Amino acid sequence: MGMSQLKICVLGCGGFIGSHLVERILSTTNWLVLGIDRDGSKIAAHRNNSRFSFVKGDIDSCKDAGEFIEKSDVVVSLAALCNPSLYNTIPLEVIQSNFVRPLSIVEKCSQLKKHLVHFSTCEVYGTTVSASMHRPFDPKTDVFIEDKTPFILGPIHAQRWSYACAKQLLERAIFAHGFEHGLAYTIIRPFNFIGPRMDFIPGVDGEGVPRVLACFMEALLFGTSLKLVDGGNNFRCFTYIDDAIDALMIVLSYPQKANNQIFNIGNPDNEITIQGLAKLMTRLYGELRPDFAGGPALIENVTAKEFYGKGYEDSDRRVPDITKAKTLLHWTPKTLLADALKTTMAFYIKEYGNLILKQEAI
């Protein structure tokens, strides 16, 4: 890819998406990566790469952040708290990390005339029009279209929406910087990316409640029950991380195709209910670990209040319209859900399976 040696600043390079982006850039281009994260464990394999400058620290207090932005051609802004279990439990930190802090990155990019690739979320859309009107899903009004669909978030006390609202306000600030100061930007709205290195397994390499994929993997690996929040009737479109990184690489390689655009990056063909996901992952786990003596996993219903606490509300369904990404970026996601899950689950089994067996033996 591209002959010129781009310098890419990746804020939050040690997270799930960041680690895949760093890996792809270093393995397929001659670009330089200047990255910052509080946690370097997921990118440890690249620390000795001479094209990767990594600073372990907090973006807020780290003096290298400004310098990295200044030195770069493009800034990819990923760092955020993005786990639904936090939205109604530490909402102030969620707002800080999804609006207040990234706003200063936006301002810096605007001032220094740097192309900003900012990671927003499909959660900005909130619930579907149909759900808010208490009528059945209608693809005509309910598929999410970047520059058309209205945003429907719950009331203030439903703090689940603190994240979506913070991300939405930041999108508005980015748009305004484009409008008033000529900021060149691209906003990505991811739809439930999944893949290796996503989140953590509680009690092994992290604490708290991760996103659904890691919650279900924890249950399968430990032989406990998979918990369905409010019956698991809500839908998600899961997108394989390699497909998502393909889209991002096109944005970075051909910024003119993506300038001042917002893109849904998701796979509408991979829609499933959370209950369906629990059943599919249970079946695949049995296939991937036929020797595992734990027997079939159990599925348990829990209320949202029991699982997440007060103030949680869910998105009912989020189907991306990806016409814009197909047309402008010539990008189409390729990986079907079962294949994405098989690769991802095989990673978790390899990474954590023996560790957990050892922990249980103690």
Q: Which is nearer to ligand UGA, 186 or 264 (CB)?
A: 264
Binding of ligand UGA by 228 (CB under 6 A)? yes
* Contact of residue 227 among ligand UGA, ligand NAD, none (CB under 5-8 Å per partner type): ligand UGA
- Strands (E) in the chain, as ranges, are 7-11, 32-37, 52-56, 74-77, 115-119, 185-190, 193-194, 226-229, 235-237, 239-240, 261-265, 271-273, 299-302
Which residue in 227, 258, 335, 337 binds ligand UGA (CB under 6 A)?
227
Between residues 100 and 302, which has the closer beta carbon with respect to ligand NAD? Answer: 100
Quick check: helix, strand or coil at residue 29? coil
Least separation, in Å, of the C-beta of 3 and ligand NAD? 29
Residues that bind ligand NAD (CB under 6 A): 12, 14-18, 36-39, 58-60, 78-80, 82, 97, 119, 121, 190, 192-193
Residue 20 makes contact with ligand UGA by CB under 6 A: no
| Interacting residues with ligand UGA between 127 and 156 (CB under 6 A) | none
Q: Which does 84 bind (CB under 5 to 8 A by kind): ligand NAD, ligand UGA, none?
A: ligand UGA
Verify binding: residue 311, ligand UGA, rule CB under 6 A.
no
Active site residue 185: no
Q: Is 344 in the site for ligand UGA (CB under 6 A)?
A: no
With CB atoms as reference, the residue minimizing the distance to ligand NAD is 15
Residue 340 binds what, of ligand UGA, ligand NAD, none (CB under 5 to 8 Å, by partner type)? none
Which window, 130-138, 174-182, 184-192, 248-256, contacts ligand UGA (CB under 6 A)? 184-192
Please identify, using beta-carbon distances, which residue of 18 and 232 lies nearer to ligand NAD.
Answer: 18
The option from ligand NAD, ligand UGA, none interacting with 263 (CB < 5 to 8 A, set by class) reads: none
Cα R_g (the chain), whole angstroms:
20
229 binds, among ligand UGA, ligand NAD, none (CB under 5 to 8 A by kind): ligand UGA
Check 163, 308, 348, 352 and give the catalytic one.
163
Q: Which is nearer to ligand NAD, 26 or 241 (CB)?
A: 241
Sign of CA dihedral 288, 291, 296, 302: negative
Q: Which is nearer to ligand NAD, 221 or 244 (CB)?
A: 244
- Dist CA 92 CA 200 (whole Å): 23
Measured CA distances, 161 to 110, 146, 274, 312 (Å): 27, 19, 20, 8
Secondary structure of residue 268 in the 3-state scheme: helix
Angle between helices 161-181 and 101-112 (to 10 degrees): 20
How many angstroms separate the CA atoms of 272 and 277, rounded?
6
Q: Which helix (H) or strand (E) holds 340?
A: helix 337-361
Identify the three-state secondary structure at position 256.
Answer: helix
Backbone angles phi, psi at 93, to 5 degrees: -65, -35
- In the complex, least distance from residue 195 CB atom to ligand NAD, rounded to whole angstroms: 9
H runs (alpha helix) in 74-211:
84-87, 91-95, 101-112, 129-132, 139-142, 161-181
Q: Catalytic residues, which ones? A: 163
